Chain A
Amino acid sequence: MVDLEKLRFTKTHEWLRVEGNTGYVGITDHAQKEITDVVFVELPKIGKEVAKAGEAAVVESVKAAFSIYAPVSGKIIKANDAVEKDPSLVNKSPYEEGWFFAIEIKDKSEADSLMTQKDYLEFIKTGAH
């Protein structure tokens, strides 16, 4: 099980798991419930440079398509093929199997400035969406 307390969160509902210089990115359980059944995920190309809050991927549910923003700046180094083949992993396992891509973190302080789980839970409780 992933330790949610170790994750960092954005206001656009992405989570970031930091492993050394690598950051794994997905969307939160709250977000997957809001968008309902995910039917398609468009992942970034490996090697693509993205800026913090820049569009990095697209997730399509039966409701609409949503942009996934990079929580931190850096270079895309991995994309999760499994989620491309089976987009429902985003719903089934948002924090583990349903991750989208991994990014080589340029500036650690960007990750530190993101919300903690506690902040995030408070953030969604206050009606943010």
Chain B
Amino acid sequence: MKYSPHTDKDKKEMLGVIGAASSEDLFSAIPKEFRLQKLDLAEGISELELKKLMLDKAGKDYSTQKLVSFLGGGAYEHYIPQAVESLISRGEFLTAYTPYQAEASQGTLQAIYEYQSLICELTGMDVANASMYDGASALAEAVILAVKETGRSRVIFSSSLHPEYRQVIKTYLEGYKIEFVEIPHAGGLFDETALKKEANDSTACVIVQNPNFFGCIEKVDEVESICHSCGALLIACVNPVSLGILKAPGGYNADIAVGEGQPLGIPMSFGGPYLGFFAVKEKHMRKMPGRVAGMTKDIEGKRGFVLTMQAREQHIRREKATSNICSNEGLMALAACIHLSLLGKEGIKEVARQNVLKSHYLKDKILKLSGFELMFDAPFFNEFVVRCGKETDKIIGDLLKHGMIGGLPLGRFRADMKNCMLICVTETKSKDDLDRFAELLGKH
């Protein structure tokens, strides 16, 4: 088999047709200095040599396998049962193809249906879709739904919303005429007094992230009542693991619940692939983006799974579709589905409980150290912000020498949070890890 699709003869013929002397002619519009002349690559090497090269390169990576990490801020290290990887690696599931013609595969449809059911149960919502790219794009789609549903254009959120989510929403909705209102946080939480002033009858939605970017648990009931009193939709952006212990969005009457599904059985891996989950109250289901798998019966009365509620989907309604989203992270949704099934109701409660207990244990230890103070008094789930006496870069550099990745430095997100670190503790940390971390911090 030839690996090169075009022979020199082919190329000559093609160039002849379009009247170019050489392939170089095709790029003449680009100045030469901007063109890649030669790649710094070795000549062909054997498979064994290539394998060794890649292993050497991979060996230079830092990962949470080698180091003890206290990073969170949107991506979380959780225990993932081995069965998750084994099951999603099965040939029936592991395909690069998004099963758009999913009618052919009952197994895939059933898996999506079960994933949706689990997300509904977890969030307390009525209908979930088959998943989206990530939490931030799911949130942006939620805003679009709210804008279309209400016919209003004002979108209110707190500066306690993850700054990258905020950027994604603004980019995603560039073409819409949206008025974004960002309310400065009050003590790490949504400022209810300011929200009352800003919420009016042109407000399409209020976004509440819970726990928020600073790890704090928002007063969701208060936000809900202000939001709904002006007729806006409430969008809850939640960490799914926290729902093992916190009130579910359905419980505080959110209209749309979205979030990042990565904590549900998906490893941190250079920032992806991620999983956006999206669930709504029944009254909004027809405007929900993406696909929905449903359960039905065939003419013989046998159970079957089908794609449903897709009349406003992109492949049917083209430019008038509810959303331009045309793919989803099917395999990641399956991972989340398997993960949740393995954990079960009690399991996710236990994981959430361990996150709370362990993070609070570390918080107490750090507060005893001199030179460190807790930024916010609000209750938190598994992350908290600490202001350090010294530069965070220096502290983080020193920690790395001891095999630890410190918290997320917040200076890059906010000027007023220079020398602040967002520290995350999940169930993956042992008491020894926490004691050692506090001890090393104490040396600063």
Is there a chain B Cβ closer than 8 Å to A60's Cβ?
A: yes
- Whether B316 pairs with A63 at a CB distance below 8 angstroms is yes
Contact B286–A60 (Cβ < 8 Å): yes
Q: Which residues of A contact B311 (CB under 8 A)?
A: 39-40, 60-65
Query: Would you call B316 and A64 a contact (CB within 8 A)?
Result: yes
Does B443 have its Cβ within 8 Å of any Cβ on chain A? no
Whether, in the assembled complex, B320 has its beta carbon less than 8 Å from a beta carbon of chain A, the answer is: yes
User: Interface of B with A (CB < 8 Å)?
Assistant: 151, 286, 311-312, 316-317, 320
Chain A residue nearest to B312 in the complex (CB) = A65
Residue on B with the closest CB to A55? B320
Residue from the list A40, A45, A67 in contact with B320, Cβ < 8 A = A67
Which A residue's beta carbon lies closest to that of B310? Answer: A64
- Interface, chain A (partner B; CB < 8 A): 39-40, 42, 45, 60-65, 67
Interface of B is mostly: helix
Chain B residues with CB under 8 A of A63: 311, 316
Closest to B286 in A: A40
Given A40-B286, A42-B286, check contact A60 B312 (CB 8 Å): yes
A64 touches B286 (CB 8 A): no
Chain A residues near B317 (CB-CB < 8 A): 64-65
Task: Tell me the minimal C-beta distance from A13 to chain B in angstroms.
Answer: 16
Rounded to whole angstroms, the CA-CA distance of A63 and B312 in the bound complex is 10
A64 vs B317: C-alpha distance when bound (angstroms): 7
Q: Roughly how many angstroms separate A108 CA and B312 CA in the complex, as a whole number?
A: 34
Q: A64-B312, A65-B312 are in contact. List 8 more A-B contacts (CB 8 A).
A: A40-B286, A45-B151, A62-B311, A64-B316, A64-B317, A65-B311, A65-B316, A65-B320
Closest 6 CB pairs of A and B: A65-B311, A60-B311, A64-B316, A65-B312, A64-B311, A65-B317
Question: A14 vs B217: C-alpha distance in the bound complex, in angstroms?
Answer: 52
A63 to B313, CA, bound (A): 11
Nearest A residue to B308 by beta-carbon distance?
Answer: A62
Minimal beta-carbon separation of B108 from chain A (angstroms): 22
Which residues on the A side are within 8 Å of B286 (C-beta)?
A: 40, 42, 60
When chains A and B are docked, how far (Å) is the Cα of A60 from the Cα of B288? 14
Q: Give the chain B neighbours of A67 by CB distance below 8 A.
A: 320
In the complex, the chain B residue whose C-beta lies closest to that of A60 is: B311
Shortest Cβ gap from B280 to chain A (Å) = 15
A42 / chain B contacts, CB cutoff of 8 Å:
286
| Chain B residues closer than 8 Å to A60, beta-carbon distance | 286, 311-312
22 interchain pairs, CB-CB under 8 A = A39-B311, A40-B286, A40-B311, A42-B286, A45-B151, A60-B286, A60-B311, A60-B312, A61-B311, A62-B311, A63-B311, A63-B316, A64-B311, A64-B312, A64-B316, A64-B317, A65-B311, A65-B312, A65-B316, A65-B317, A65-B320, A67-B320
With A and B bound together, what is the CA distance between A42 and B311 in angstroms? 13
Q: How far is the CA of A60 from the CA of B321 in the complex (A)?
A: 12
Minimal beta-carbon separation of A14 from chain B (angstroms) = 16
Interchain CA distance A64-B286 in the complex, whole Å: 12
Chain A residues whose CB sits within 8 angstroms of the CB of B151 once the complex forms: 45
For B311, B316, B317, the residue with the greatest tally of chain A CB atoms inside 10 Å of its CB is B311
Complex Cα–Cα for A82 and B218 (A):
42
Which chain B residue has the least Cβ–Cβ distance from A64?
B316
The complex places the Cα of A39 from the Cα of B294 at a distance, in Å, of 16
